[in-house]
Amino acid sequence: MTTSTKTILTAAHWGPMLVETDGEQVFSSTGALASVHPNSLQSAVRDQVHSKTRVRWPMVRKGFLTSPDKPQGVRGQDEYVRVSWEEALDLIHAQHQRIRASHGPAAIFAGSYGWRSNGILHKAATLLQRYMSQAGGYTGHLGDYSTGAAQVIMPYVVGSNEVYQQQTSWPLVLEHSEVVVLWSANPLNTLKIAWNASDEQGIGFFEQLKQSGKRLICIDPMRSETAAFLEDSAEWVAPHMGSDVALMLGIAHTLVENGWHDRAFLDSCTHGYDIFERYLTGRDDGVAKNAEWAAAICGVSGDKISELADIFRHHRTMLMAGWGMQRQQYGEQKHWMLITLAAMLGQIGLPGGGFGLSYHFANGGNPTRRAAVPASMQGRVAGGSDAVERIPVARIVEALENPGGVYQHNGETRQFPDIRMVWWAGGGNFTHHQDTNRLIAAWQKPELVVISECFWTAAAKHADIVLPITTSFERNDLTMTGDYSQQHLVPMKQVVAPQFGARNDFDVFASLAERLEQGGRERFTEGRDEMAWLNYFYDVARKQGEARGVALPEFSAFWAANQIVEMPEDENSARFVRFGDFRADPQGHPLKTPSGKIEIYSERIAAYGYADCPPHPRWLAPDEWHGNAREGQLQLLSSHPAHRLHSQLNYAQLRERYAVAGREPVTLHPIDAAARGIADGDVVRVWNQRGQVLAGAQVTADIKPGVICIHEGGWPDLAPEAGNLCRHGAVNVLTLDIPTSRLANGCAANSSLVWLEKYQGPEMPVRAFDPPATA
Ligand SMILES: Nc1nc2c(c(=O)[nH]1)N[C@H]1C(S)=C(S)[C@@H](COP(=O)(O)OP(=O)(O)OC[C@H]3O[C@@H](n4cnc5c(=O)[nH]c(N)nc54)[C@H](O)[C@@H]3O)O[C@H]1N2
Ligand SMILES: Nc1nc2c(c(=O)[nH]1)N[C@H]1C(S)=C(S)[C@@H](COP(=O)(O)OP(=O)(O)OC[C@H]3O[C@@H](n4cnc5c(=O)[nH]c(N)nc54)[C@H](O)[C@@H]3O)O[C@H]1N2
Ligand SMILES: [Mo]
């Protein structure tokens, strides 16, 4: 390193970082907070900025450029032509206006779901929507992929979404909980990131839990990184995928059989338990959902199920649930039944008891600070239009396939808009959406697809117009850490100049806004440039700080100091008990449900009459699972990856830590490997009626026989000349694109069956990370 080397403070979803640079090259990066558990993602800045897979210049697909009003050729199988920024923006403007004039604002899909980069100003999808609000409106989206089912059912059950809310504080868990259950949760992986920057406190709490001597149980078809981290201090219980409701019912029935359920709590704090109990005990259908019944479905022994009931009943038990199990067909039932079980145990609202749906995400449970929080960019200009239409986020392909189609969503009858133009900025829909081949077919329908990207992702390779965007290291921004804790305020200073022809999303949309109307740029920017916006947002925090006794310096001093600002602790937060007030006084602090109580039976859901979302939690067998697998079929798990955020950083050197045979790893049990003559490290072909992928075998007893895992987020690399075989192992080539139910219409990726064999075909080099030849 030369003497001109500087250290710049910035932050990503994966936490505050210090980046070494000479102003042109990034040399290295590390975490800026002291941490005993270094976060691998923090090492990747150099790879992000200097990746060979960066989009360098604006590019237009050849068949589009020839006749933009009537595009030719096939998206995904065409060449790209370099154009100037002015040409690209003029072309977008003209086609956008043409489509809007002929088909109206609902024909423009700008839902653009995705994890972009963090920061309060350079929010890609928000900026896209801000521009579209100025243009006259657009179709947006409802919900997300993360908690599609849970976030919709929870308000019916407890009156709040629970998945994005602060949890009973960790100090109380460490003090009071005797048993902690990680149910479908893998915090060691998933706490590496947050929607803002991670405050990095969560894993430290799990470390303390590990040392505490408390009883810890992981309920997961895979012995996850977290189970491995907890070592001998945790027990691993492995149900078949998708069978948790049966397992929970078995535990619940054991409680009733023994008179262990908390009648007093059920009476004072819940609604509809008796109706549910008729189902549980089989009074109406003659089937008692007892431990033996459950064992036959979930593959956990009846004795173990009874033992779990005994342990939970006789100890202060915290059920910490993750979200993988609700990303499944009938996903709504999972957390509804979990809360029903917690209600029967009667510990909801006690310190260290009950349930929590966000200990594995964004460091939930790390107490909220007395914080001064900056404002952030809004997705609507003054006087601009809101979304004129919205579709459930994971129903995008159905919407493209079936314009005008009528569907049910959360008690409403709705209609899909006729989408003619799609713009994605800050999302990886070709990695995040299910059933890639079906997506690619639907993707041919719009008249214009624009992708704003830093990298040549599969979505970019299937676009008409690709715009090169800066990474967050090529611009200035600001962020808080901790979605719940708001622990730190961090300046995100520009590290290097924009690479090649890359521009900020903000500048791209400002330039397009200028084309919309006289004074359009000023309306979009409100006359502020990057630093003026940051100053403006910061001043909101400063003002809030004054009211809360948190003194912040003036913006110029804050920016010049280049330091993390830590917010003061708040004693009350450290003693926060979720549902504590409600439990103490259910009348005085009712929940926002119709009865004011926890709804184990919902009249509102009953009124919808959805067979796929009954009015109390119920075991429903999915279309694809262990119970109807044909000989040789395996259940496919697509957990979230350790060394990337979804598809982000897949191209980075970090890949060497996990790739097997140069591809995505597929975890499988020795029994399943032996039955197919597969050895660790072999290239295997995984397929079903939807598609086929190559992957590298990782043979280990840390997964339940009959289940295989390919992590989500691997970049698709389809070979049209070989039956669209994905050479790299992108899991969504294989997953099922159906709604969780008509209630939530969430993503159900974790309900898929596949076949697997040793690959014996011709060599297939991976090209996922190569830019198109003509780029
Ligand atoms: N099978 C299966 N599929 C899943 C899941 C699963 O469990 N199983 N999980 C689902 C879940 S929970 C989620 S949240 C989704 C995640 O899906 P996404 O959030 O869409 O995934 P990311 O890979 O984070 O995509 C973000 C993209 O934004 C780009 N980007 C980053 N910064 C910027 C910027 O400043 N400007 C612009 N224009 N672009 C930028 C990145 O290069 C990247 O391509 O995946 C879902 N898909
Ligand atoms: N490092 C890293 N962290 C991340 C992300 C990332 O991509 N990388 N993504 C972030 C995002 S957007 C989200 S939404 C969260 C996701 O958080 P989660 O949805 O909780 O993460 P998953 O890995 O999908 O699932 C968690 C666990 O559920 C288990 N599981 C799956 N199906 C079943 C089942 O049927 N029964 C049981 N009992 N267990 C099951 C999986 O094996 C896994 O260990 O993570 C966030 N954190
Ligand atoms: Mo997510």
Determine the Cα–Cα distance for residues 349 and 168; give it in Å rounded to an integer.
9
**Is 90 exceeded by the pLDDT of residue 132?**
yes
Determine the Cα–Cα distance for residues 190 and 203; give it in Å rounded to an integer.
10
Q: Rounded mean pLDDT of 149-158?
A: 98
Determine the Cα–Cα distance for residues 103 and 479; give it in Å rounded to an integer.
39
Q: How sure is the predictor about 3, in pLDDT bands with cuts at 50, 70 and 90?
A: low
Cβ(149) – ligand 2 distance below 6 Å? no
Determine the Cα–Cα distance for residues 413 and 424; give it in Å rounded to an integer.
27
Give all strands (DSSP E) within 641-736, no chain letters.
665-668, 683-688, 691-699, 707-709, 718-719, 725-726
Q: Does domain 162-367+580-601 sit in CATH 3.40.50.970?
A: no
162-367+580-601 and 626-758 agree in CATH topology? no
CA of 185 to the centre of ligand 2 (A): 6
683-696 pLDDT, tens digit per residue, is 999 999 999 999 99
DSSP sequence for 330-392? TTHHHHHHHHHHHHHHT-TTSTT-EEES-TTSTTTTSPPP---------SS-TT---EEEEEE
Q: What is the pLDDT of residue 671?
A: 98
Report DSSP state, residue 704: -
Phi, psi of 488 (to 5 degrees): -135, 155
242-291 pLDDT, tens digit per residue, is 999 999 999 999 999 999 999 999 999 999 999 999 999 999 999 999 99
Q: Rounded mean pLDDT of 51-77?
A: 97
Residue ranges of the domains in the chain? 6-50, 59-143+373-566, 162-367+580-601, 626-758
187-231 pLDDT, tens digit per residue, is 999 999 999 999 999 999 999 999 999 999 999 999 999 999 999
Q: CATH code for 59-143+373-566?
A: 3.40.50.740
582-591 pLDDT, tens digit per residue, is 999 999 999 9
Q: How sure is the predictor about 581, in pLDDT bands with cuts at 50, 70 and 90?
A: very high
Q: Rounded mean pLDDT of 350-374?
A: 98
**Is 90 exceeded by the pLDDT of residue 35?**
no
Residue 275 CB neighbours (<10 A) = 15
Q: What is the pLDDT of residue 433?
A: 98
633-692 pLDDT, tens digit per residue, is 999 999 999 999 999 999 999 999 999 999 999 999 999 999 999 999 999 999 999 999
Q: What is the pLDDT of residue 1?
A: 46
Q: Which amino acid residue places its CA nearest to atom 8 of ligand 2?
A: 645
Catalytic residues: 113, 115
**Is 70 exceeded by the pLDDT of residue 2?**
no
Task: Characterize the bridge pairing of strands 138-142 and 387-392.
Answer: parallel
For residue 616, give both structure tokens. 């109390």
Q: What is the pLDDT of residue 775?
A: 82
What is the distance in angstroms between the CA of the first residue and the CA of the last residue of the chain?
32
Determine the Cα–Cα distance for residues 179 and 463; give it in Å rounded to an integer.
51
Q: Which amino acid residue places its CA nearest to atom 3 of ligand 2?
A: 190
For residue 94, give both structure tokens. 């003209």
Determine the Cα–Cα distance for residues 651 and 630; give it in Å rounded to an integer.
36
Q: Rounded mean pLDDT of 516-525?
A: 98
Ligand nearest to the CA of 427: 1
195-205 pLDDT, tens digit per residue, is 999 999 999 99
Q: Rounded mean pLDDT of 381-387?
A: 97
CA of 654 to the centre of ligand 1 (A): 17
**Is 90 exceeded by the pLDDT of residue 552?**
yes
CA of 115 to the centre of ligand 1 (A): 5
Residue 671 exposed, middle or buried by CB count within 10 Å (0-12, 13-18, 19+): exposed
Determine the Cα–Cα distance for residues 215 and 235; give it in Å rounded to an integer.
8
Q: State pTM to two decimals.
A: 0.98
User: What sections of 379-492 are H helices per DSSP?
Assistant: 396-401, 429-432, 436-442, 458-461
Q: Which string of b and e fits 123-152 if b means at least 16 CB within 10 Å?
A: bbbbbbbbbbbbbbbbbbbbbbbbbbbbbb
Determine the Cα–Cα distance for residues 36 and 17; give it in Å rounded to an integer.
15
454-475 pLDDT, tens digit per residue, is 999 999 999 999 999 999 999 9
Q: Rounded mean pLDDT of 410-421?
A: 98
Give percent above pLDDT 70 in the chain: 100
**Is 90 exceeded by the pLDDT of residue 755?**
yes
What 3-state class would DSSP assign to 731?
helix
- Which residues sit with their C-beta closer than 6 Å to ligand 1? 114-117, 122, 124, 145-146, 327, 425-428, 431-432, 452-455, 457, 469, 505, 638, 640, 645-648, 712-713, 731-732, 735, 747, 749
Give percent above pLDDT 90 in the chain: 99
Q: How sure is the predictor about 4, in pLDDT bands with cuts at 50, 70 and 90?
A: confident
DSSP sequence for 141-203? EES-SSSTTHHHHHHHHHSS--TTSPPSPHHHHHHH-SEEEEES--HHHHTT--SSB----HH
Q: Which CATH number fits domain 626-758: 3.40.50.970, 2.40.40.20, 3.40.50.1820, 2.40.100.10?
A: 2.40.40.20
307-341 pLDDT, tens digit per residue, is 999 999 999 999 999 999 999 999 999 999 999 99
Residue 570 is labelled as binding a ligand: no
27: part of which helix (H) or strand (E)? strand 26-31
* C-alpha distances in Å from residue 382, one per residue of 165, 379, 385: 30, 10, 9
62: part of which helix (H) or strand (E)? helix 62-66
